[in-house]
Structure 1
Amino acid sequence: MLLYAFYALLISTIGAYAFFNGRFLKTPMTKTSIVLVIAHPDDEVMFFGPTLAELTRPEHGNTVRVLCMSSGNHDGLGEVRKRELVASCRSFGIRESHVTILERDDLKDGPKELWDPSLVGDQMNLYAKKHNIETIITFDEKGVSAHTNHIACYVGLTYFIHTFKERTPVKTCYVLKSISLLRKYISILDLPFTMLMTEALMPLFSQLTGFGGAAALVGGQNSTTNRINLRPLELLFVSSPKAIVQAKGAMEKHESQMVWFRKLYVLFSRYMSVNELRRVM
């Protein structure tokens, strides 16, 4: 019985993967400025690889930046990890000038370090204004791995939204959805479960029927079709084989972090091939 269940899951995964690889679900983010806010060097690829692989595709015309709240200096490797982050981002076509790494005593790396939400939110606000950012992406309230610093990025984003919503160039904010431990480590086999539970497919339904699944982006207007640009309630990014190889190559740039359990993570983590984002603004 378990064998039949595995075969059914495998077949459904292949079908779902073919759906996304055929690019039936197009990204709604094009020609916009985006910042990925992370807590440590390597977060950008360990958790957000599929998101970066999709949003940095040249045909989308996006400007993608990375704001890292710490240098990851918990083990005294901060300077090494800074260089690794720049190299990793370069694998996604993000140039060094678009990578910002904060080095502050009040934003130290460490699972016991509690970051002030107002400080994190203020940094997001300053960065958004400086670079005219339209979309912020970061962790959700569970931080994927429950790391205190990851969660602080979400809490800081919440502060940012509540405090600066009416006076910022940012129009939308998305957070990476955390999932159960079992789903987290079944790699691409989680895709059928994700498709059953996500609202990310609603924009496709909306295009076909004209109902539901998306919200208008303020000020977004497509002059050629005279239709309002949409920002869905959820986004689902599924990497192609080429993008998965790209992400693995980016992770290898973090040489100082490639201990045995991270090598296993690269092989089995669903976040290396599937990202589901939830809109919070």
Structure 2
Amino acid sequence: MIFTIPRAIFRFFALSFIIWLVLTTILPQTTMKYSNNQVRTNKFRRSQYPYNSITSPTPLPIANSSVYFIIAHPDDEVMFFSPSVVEISKSKYNNSVKLVCFSRGDAVDESMGRIRRNELYDSARILGVQDVTVLNYPDGMNETWALSDIRQSLKENVKPVEGKPTVLITFDEGGVSSHANHIALYHGTKSYFKRNGNATSTRLLVLKSVNFWEKYSFTLLTDVELFVDHLSSFISKVVNFNINVSFFTAAPSSSIKIYSDLNMLSVSYAAMCYGHFSQMVWFRYGWLLLSRYLTFNHLIEL
């Protein structure tokens, strides 16, 4: 009797994962074999095999751009932003992706900073990002990062390219986990954007913070959203009818939803477990198994 409830929970999550696997990976890849002319005829126009993508809107409205992920600590790029990093880095979008990390993650001890900085380089390579900048802001929940310092650091490290849009992606005002460093980056990046955005054709997107149940729902909510989306797409081909389901509060029309499939999730696991090996304490495995941020990102454009 003691093991009945845990076993039921395990089966429930296992079933959810299988449904997610079908909706995000098996169904789209199978459909592509019939809908994509290159795959169907085995005659390819590029040297890269077509990647499957699940985004809303489609196609992804971030292309031919210089994209900067503004993060606070080594491992933020995986734990929170990996669906966006992997998707936006795909060659079909022709983006130049860079990571700007404001601290070395040395809250425990200064010596850990060197290790975590090098781990960030390893993780970034696994995610497909070659350009990484690590600054030396103090790491910690009680550390205050001045807006003027963040603004100056962004001015020094964000290099707009003439004729190419610049896209900044960082945390929102909730900082995902209410971490003071994350929240400081939101305010500092927003301040930089207000002063420099219009002059440099810059866009700013922030990662939507969600409540506890959404954060640890893993694939459960995604299953419902994608099932309804697939159903709506099928029905709309027959009649003029559309359904949209989201478990988030109302968002502006400029929001972007990015879903991982099994291939993208596998890359995220590798980047975290192998790239950030020093951070793989017991509760991190719980995050990898339950966090929705590893399979879904909701970006809001400001």
Is TM-score (shorter-chain normalized) higher than 0.5? yes
Helix, strand or coil at the partner of 1:135: strand
Q: Which runs of 5+ in 2 are unaligned?
A: 1-7, 32-52, 228-235, 241-252
Partner of 2:134: 101
- Match for 2:60 among 14, 27, 49? 27
Query: Structure 1 residues 195 and 113 mapped into 2: Cα distance closer, same or farther (>3 Å)?
Result: farther
* AA of the residue aligned to 1:178: S
Quote the residue 1:268 is aligned against: 290
The structure-2 alpha-carbon separation of the partners of 1:235 and 1:108, relative to structure 1 and needing over 3 Å to count, comes to same
Query: 1:64 corresponds to which residue?
Result: 97
Aligned to 1:246: 267
Alignment deviations for residues 91-121 of structure 1 (CA, whole Å, 9 cap, x no partner): 01212xx100002xxx200000011012112
Query: How far 1:14 sits from its partner (Å)?
Result: 6.8
Partner of 2:192: 160
Per the alignment, residue 53 of structure 1 pairs with: 86
3-state secondary structure, aligned to 2:125: helix
The one-letter code sitting in structure 2 at the alignment partner of 1:188 is T
Identity %: 33
The one-letter code of the counterpart of 2:118 is R
Answer whether contact 2:160 2:200 (CA < 8 A) is retained: no
Match of 1:138 in 2: 170
Distance 1:13 1:83 in 2: 33
Indicate the SS of the match to 2:205. Answer: strand
Q: Aligned-pair distance for 1:40?
A: 0.3
1:40 aligns with 2:76: no
Greater Rg, structure 1 or structure 2? Answer: 2
Q: State the Cα RMSD in Å.
A: 3.0
* Structure 1 unaligned regions, length at least 5: 197-204, 210-231
The 2-side partners of 1:114 and 1:150 are apart by: 11
Query: Equivalent of 2:148, from 118, 128, 139?
Result: 118
AA of the residue aligned to 1:91:
I
How far did residue 234 of structure 1 move?
Answer: 0.6
**Where in structure 2 are the equivalents of 1:70-219 lying within 5 Å?**
70-76=103-109, 77-95=112-130, 98-103=131-136, 107-129=137-159, 134-170=166-202, 172-191=203-222
User: Is the Cα contact below 8 Å between 1:86 and 1:99 reproduced in 2?
Assistant: yes
In 2 relative to 1, CA 130–73 (structure 1 residues): closer, same or farther, beyond 3 Å?
A: farther
1:4-23 aligned within 5 A: 10=16, 17=24, 23=53
Normalising by structure 2, report the TM-score.
Answer: 0.71
Distance in 2 between residues matched to 1:167 and 1:94, nearest whole Å: 27
- SS of residue matched to 1:75: coil
One-letter amino acid of the structure 2 residue matched with residue 258 of structure 1: M
Aligned to 1:267, the other structure's residue is in SS state helix
* Partner deviation per Cα, 1:136-182 (whole Å, 9 max, x = no partner): 00000000011000001101012112222333352x11000000101
Report if aligned partners of 1:30, 1:60 keep a CA contact under 8 Å in 2. Answer: yes
User: Does 2:258 align with 1:237?
Assistant: yes
Instruction: Kindly state the Cα deviation for residue 130 of structure 1 after the two structures are TM-superposed.
Output: 6.2
Q: Is the 8 A contact 1:184 1:270 kept in 2?
A: yes
When residues 113 and 275 of structure 1 are mapped into structure 2, their CA distance, relative to the original with a 3 A threshold, is: same
> Do the aligned partners of residues 273 and 94 (structure 1) sit closer, same or farther apart at CA in structure 2, a change above 3 Å counting?
same
SS of residue in 2 equivalent to 1:161: helix
Q: Indicate if the aligned counterparts of 2:160 and 2:166 stay in contact, CA closer than 8 A.
A: no
Residue 246 of structure 1 aligns with an amino acid whose one-letter code is V
Letter paired with 1:43: D
With over 3 angstroms needed to count, the CA separation of the structure-2 counterparts of 1:244 and 1:256, relative to structure 1, is same
Paired with 1:242 and 1:66, the residues of 2 have a C-alpha distance of: 22
